[in-house]
A and B are shown apart, each in its own frame.
Chain A
Protein backbone atom coordinates (compact mmCIF):
# COMPACT_ATOMS: atom_id res chain seq x y z
CA UNK A 1 0.00 0.00 0.00
CA UNK A 2 1.30 3.42 -0.98
CA UNK A 3 1.73 5.47 2.14
CA UNK A 4 3.58 8.09 4.13
CA UNK A 5 4.24 7.15 7.75
CA UNK A 6 5.15 9.41 10.64
CA UNK A 7 6.27 8.67 14.16
CA UNK A 8 5.37 9.41 16.83
CA UNK A 9 1.71 10.31 16.29
CA UNK A 10 1.49 12.16 19.59
CA UNK A 11 4.28 13.76 21.58
CA UNK A 12 4.34 15.86 24.72
CA UNK A 13 7.69 17.32 25.63
CA UNK A 14 9.27 20.13 27.59
CA UNK A 15 10.94 23.29 26.38
CA UNK A 16 14.49 22.75 25.19
CA UNK A 17 14.47 18.96 24.95
CA UNK A 18 15.61 17.95 21.46
CA UNK A 19 13.25 15.75 19.50
CA UNK A 20 12.96 14.12 16.10
CA UNK A 21 9.81 13.25 14.17
CA UNK A 22 10.43 10.60 11.56
CA UNK A 23 8.82 10.45 8.13
CA UNK A 24 9.06 7.68 5.58
CA UNK A 25 7.41 7.06 2.20
CA UNK A 26 7.30 3.88 0.11
CA UNK A 27 6.42 5.42 -3.28
CA UNK A 28 9.94 6.34 -4.40
CA UNK A 29 8.92 10.00 -4.52
CA UNK A 30 11.60 12.58 -5.10
CA UNK A 31 9.86 15.44 -3.31
CA UNK A 32 9.17 15.46 0.42
CA UNK A 33 8.09 18.27 2.70
CA UNK A 34 6.99 19.14 6.21
CA UNK A 35 4.01 21.30 7.11
CA UNK A 36 2.62 22.61 10.33
CA UNK A 37 -1.09 23.18 10.75
CA UNK A 38 -2.47 25.72 13.19
CA UNK A 39 -6.13 26.80 13.56
CA UNK A 40 -7.09 29.41 11.00
CA UNK A 41 -3.69 29.38 9.31
CA UNK A 42 -3.98 26.37 7.06
CA UNK A 43 -0.94 24.30 6.15
CA UNK A 44 2.36 26.17 6.24
CA UNK A 45 5.46 24.63 4.75
CA UNK A 46 8.48 24.28 7.03
CA UNK A 47 11.10 22.62 4.82
CA UNK A 48 11.12 20.66 1.62
CA UNK A 49 13.46 18.39 -0.28
CA UNK A 50 13.58 17.71 -4.00
CA UNK A 51 15.98 14.81 -3.74
CA UNK A 52 18.60 13.15 -1.55
CA UNK A 53 20.92 15.69 0.09
CA UNK A 54 18.86 18.57 -1.37
CA UNK A 55 16.79 20.52 1.15
CA UNK A 56 15.44 24.07 1.27
CA UNK A 57 13.48 26.34 3.56
CA UNK A 58 9.76 26.72 3.28
CA UNK A 59 7.74 29.59 4.73
CA UNK A 60 8.26 28.92 8.46
CA UNK A 61 11.68 27.22 8.90
CA UNK A 62 12.83 28.95 12.11
CA UNK A 63 13.50 26.48 14.92
CA UNK A 64 13.50 23.40 12.67
CA UNK A 65 16.07 21.28 10.88
CA UNK A 66 15.72 18.47 8.35
CA UNK A 67 17.93 16.01 6.57
CA UNK A 68 17.52 13.79 3.51
CA UNK A 69 20.16 11.09 3.58
CA UNK A 70 17.92 8.49 1.96
CA UNK A 71 15.21 8.96 -0.61
CA UNK A 72 12.47 7.42 1.53
CA UNK A 73 13.19 9.24 4.81
CA UNK A 74 12.85 12.90 5.77
CA UNK A 75 13.09 13.47 9.53
CA UNK A 76 12.12 16.74 11.18
CA UNK A 77 14.37 17.86 14.02
CA UNK A 78 13.57 20.37 16.73
CA UNK A 79 16.87 21.13 18.45
CA UNK A 80 15.37 23.23 21.24
CA UNK A 81 11.57 23.11 21.12
CA UNK A 82 9.56 26.05 22.41
CA UNK A 83 5.85 26.34 23.26
CA UNK A 84 5.14 28.22 20.01
CA UNK A 85 6.06 25.04 18.15
CA UNK A 86 3.06 23.29 19.62
CA UNK A 87 1.16 22.27 16.51
CA UNK A 88 -0.03 19.49 14.24
CA UNK A 89 2.72 18.42 11.84
CA UNK A 90 2.29 16.68 8.50
CA UNK A 91 4.91 15.09 6.33
CA UNK A 92 4.09 14.82 2.62
CA UNK A 93 5.59 13.42 -0.55
CA UNK A 94 5.09 13.93 -4.29
CA UNK A 95 6.37 12.52 -7.49
CA UNK A 96 8.36 14.95 -9.63
CA UNK A 97 8.30 14.88 -13.42
CA UNK A 98 9.40 17.66 -15.70
CA UNK A 99 6.70 20.25 -16.18
CA UNK A 100 3.89 18.26 -14.64
CA UNK A 101 2.18 18.52 -11.28
CA UNK A 102 1.29 15.44 -9.27
CA UNK A 103 -0.82 14.89 -6.21
CA UNK A 104 0.70 15.18 -2.79
CA UNK A 105 0.37 12.34 -0.28
CA UNK A 106 0.21 13.25 3.39
CA UNK A 107 1.24 11.28 6.43
CA UNK A 108 -1.23 10.81 9.32
CA UNK A 109 0.12 13.74 11.31
CA UNK A 110 2.04 14.23 14.54
CA UNK A 111 0.44 16.25 17.30
CA UNK A 112 3.22 17.94 19.27
CA UNK A 113 2.76 19.74 22.56
CA UNK A 114 5.66 21.66 24.08
CA UNK A 115 5.19 22.73 27.70
Chain B
Protein backbone atom coordinates (compact mmCIF):
# COMPACT_ATOMS: atom_id res chain seq x y z
CA UNK B 1 0.00 0.00 0.00
CA UNK B 2 3.05 2.25 0.08
CA UNK B 3 2.66 4.97 -2.57
CA UNK B 4 5.19 4.97 -5.39
CA UNK B 5 7.19 8.11 -5.99
CA UNK B 6 8.99 9.04 -9.18
CA UNK B 7 11.61 9.93 -10.02
CA UNK B 8 13.81 8.56 -7.24
CA UNK B 9 16.28 11.38 -7.69
CA UNK B 10 16.62 14.53 -9.76
CA UNK B 11 19.37 17.11 -10.22
CA UNK B 12 18.51 20.62 -11.33
CA UNK B 13 20.24 23.87 -12.07
CA UNK B 14 19.00 26.85 -10.11
CA UNK B 15 15.95 28.31 -11.89
CA UNK B 16 14.85 25.05 -13.56
CA UNK B 17 11.52 23.34 -12.94
CA UNK B 18 10.80 19.87 -11.59
CA UNK B 19 7.81 17.57 -11.13
CA UNK B 20 7.62 14.81 -8.54
CA UNK B 21 4.88 12.22 -8.82
CA UNK B 22 3.17 10.09 -6.19
CA UNK B 23 0.94 7.19 -7.24
CA UNK B 24 -1.23 4.79 -5.32
CA UNK B 25 -2.96 1.56 -6.30
CA UNK B 26 -5.78 2.33 -3.85
CA UNK B 27 -8.34 5.09 -3.78
CA UNK B 28 -7.00 8.05 -1.86
CA UNK B 29 -8.62 10.35 0.65
CA UNK B 30 -5.76 12.79 0.95
CA UNK B 31 -2.15 13.34 -0.09
CA UNK B 32 0.43 15.10 2.06
CA UNK B 33 3.76 16.47 0.88
CA UNK B 34 6.80 16.94 3.12
CA UNK B 35 10.39 18.01 2.56
CA UNK B 36 13.31 16.70 4.58
CA UNK B 37 16.72 18.32 4.64
CA UNK B 38 19.70 16.13 5.45
CA UNK B 39 19.86 15.36 9.16
CA UNK B 40 16.59 17.11 9.92
CA UNK B 41 12.97 16.17 10.46
CA UNK B 42 10.45 16.21 7.61
CA UNK B 43 8.63 19.52 7.29
CA UNK B 44 5.07 19.90 6.04
CA UNK B 45 4.51 21.51 2.64
CA UNK B 46 0.85 20.98 1.81
CA UNK B 47 -2.20 18.70 1.93
CA UNK B 48 -4.53 17.89 -0.93
CA UNK B 49 -7.92 16.46 -0.09
CA UNK B 50 -10.19 14.39 -2.25
CA UNK B 51 -12.42 16.78 -4.10
CA UNK B 52 -10.20 19.71 -3.22
CA UNK B 53 -8.42 22.21 -5.38
CA UNK B 54 -4.84 22.46 -6.44
CA UNK B 55 -2.74 23.93 -3.67
CA UNK B 56 0.38 26.01 -3.71
CA UNK B 57 2.50 28.58 -2.04
CA UNK B 58 5.40 30.54 -3.35
CA UNK B 59 6.76 28.57 -6.33
CA UNK B 60 5.75 25.13 -5.05
CA UNK B 61 2.34 23.75 -5.96
CA UNK B 62 0.63 20.39 -6.17
CA UNK B 63 -2.30 18.70 -7.84
CA UNK B 64 -4.37 15.64 -7.03
CA UNK B 65 -5.89 13.51 -9.78
CA UNK B 66 -8.52 11.40 -8.04
CA UNK B 67 -9.26 9.26 -11.09
CA UNK B 68 -5.63 8.24 -11.46
CA UNK B 69 -4.97 8.18 -7.68
CA UNK B 70 -1.97 10.32 -8.34
CA UNK B 71 -0.55 13.54 -7.01
CA UNK B 72 2.15 15.71 -8.52
CA UNK B 73 4.36 18.27 -6.80
CA UNK B 74 5.54 21.13 -9.01
CA UNK B 75 8.64 23.13 -8.19
CA UNK B 76 9.11 26.10 -10.49
CA UNK B 77 12.17 28.32 -10.82
CA UNK B 78 13.96 26.13 -8.28
CA UNK B 79 16.14 27.67 -5.62
CA UNK B 80 19.13 26.19 -3.80
CA UNK B 81 16.96 25.95 -0.69
CA UNK B 82 14.68 23.46 -2.45
CA UNK B 83 17.31 20.74 -2.16
CA UNK B 84 16.28 17.84 0.03
CA UNK B 85 14.20 14.69 -0.03
CA UNK B 86 10.50 15.03 -0.82
CA UNK B 87 8.01 12.56 0.61
CA UNK B 88 4.39 12.09 -0.22
CA UNK B 89 2.13 10.60 2.43
CA UNK B 90 -1.24 9.12 1.54
CA UNK B 91 -4.41 8.43 3.48
CA UNK B 92 -6.86 5.88 2.11
CA UNK B 93 -9.73 7.11 4.22
CA UNK B 94 -10.43 9.29 7.22
CA UNK B 95 -8.70 6.81 9.56
CA UNK B 96 -5.73 9.18 9.79
CA UNK B 97 -3.22 6.44 8.93
CA UNK B 98 -0.57 8.17 6.84
CA UNK B 99 1.65 5.97 4.66
CA UNK B 100 4.77 7.53 3.15
CA UNK B 101 6.50 6.87 -0.13
CA UNK B 102 10.21 6.11 -0.26
CA UNK B 103 11.07 9.68 -1.19
CA UNK B 104 12.52 11.68 -4.10
CA UNK B 105 15.96 13.22 -3.63
CA UNK B 106 16.22 16.66 -5.20
CA UNK B 107 19.51 18.49 -5.64
CA UNK B 108 19.57 22.05 -6.94
CA UNK B 109 22.96 23.26 -8.14
CA UNK B 110 24.07 26.87 -8.75
Contacts and interface: CB of A to CB of B under 8 A. Distances in A.
Contacts of B30: 101
Given A101-B29, A101-B49, A104-B32, A59 B99 contact: yes
A26 B99 CA distance: 24
B87 A103 contact: no
Contacts of A103: 32, 44, 47
A22 B44 CA distance: 22
A105 interface: yes
Interface stretch (A11-19, A38-46, A62-70): A38-46
A104 B30 CA distance: 13
Contacts, number: 58
A99 B51 CA distance: 13
Interface residues of A, number: 28
A109 interface: yes
A31 B87 CA distance: 20
B94 interface: yes
A104 to B, nearest CB: 6
Interface in B1-23: 2
Contacts of B42: 43, 90, 106
Contact of A42 (B32, B91, B97, B100): B100
B96 A42 contact: no
A35 B98 CA distance: 11
Given A31-B96, A90-B41, A94-B96, A42 B49 contact: no
